[in-house]
Amino acid sequence: MKALLSPEISVANYLVGVRERLVVTAKDSSANTNPNRKDMIPLRVKSDSGAQTEIILTETGMNTGIFTGMLRLTPNKKLYAGDFEVMAGDLIELTYEPKRLVKTSTHRKEFSKTVEVGAWDPSLWLIRNSMMSMIPLS
């Protein structure tokens, strides 16, 4: 049996744009309840502007204890149904509460990570920069 480690949450970027996908990874060996299938765990999501939801993270493989999921962000839920509505400047709080408590030095029951929503769309920034590099400087 694997040793139980303190759960943790990680994200690829701590600053995201309002039309990006937020990829979330959680590591929790105690949530690997069945070594013969991919388990799932819930993750609470809320923003400063009042939106809240729950997403399901799926184990990356059988018996890994590593879970991943994705959340699409939008500035207007009416236009993009199913996405998580955020505003530029929001802080998104991702919270995971393990079913089994793991004894740690802090004895926390929940594990959180905060992500900031920028006032820009990083994908547009990359397109702009790549186009600017094609313009000759004279």
> What does the DSSP assignment read for 69-125?
EEEEEES-TTTSTTSEE--TT-EEEEEE--SS----SS--S-EEEEEEEPSS-HHHH
The pLDDT of 20-49, averaged and rounded, is 92
Structure tokens at 129: 């920069």
Lowest-confidence range among 73-87, 91-105, 107-121, 122-136? Answer: 122-136
Residue 61 predicted with pLDDT over 90: yes
Domain boundaries, the chain: 8-132
The model's pLDDT over 99-127, given as tens digits with 9 standing for 90+, comes to 765 555 454 577 889 999 987 655 555 54
Q: Which CATH architecture has domain 8-132?
A: Sandwich (2.60)
Cα–Cα dist 2/91, whole Å: 35
Does this model's pTM top 0.85? Answer: no
Lowest-confidence range among 12-16, 26-30, 71-75? Answer: 12-16
**pLDDT given at position 121:** 56
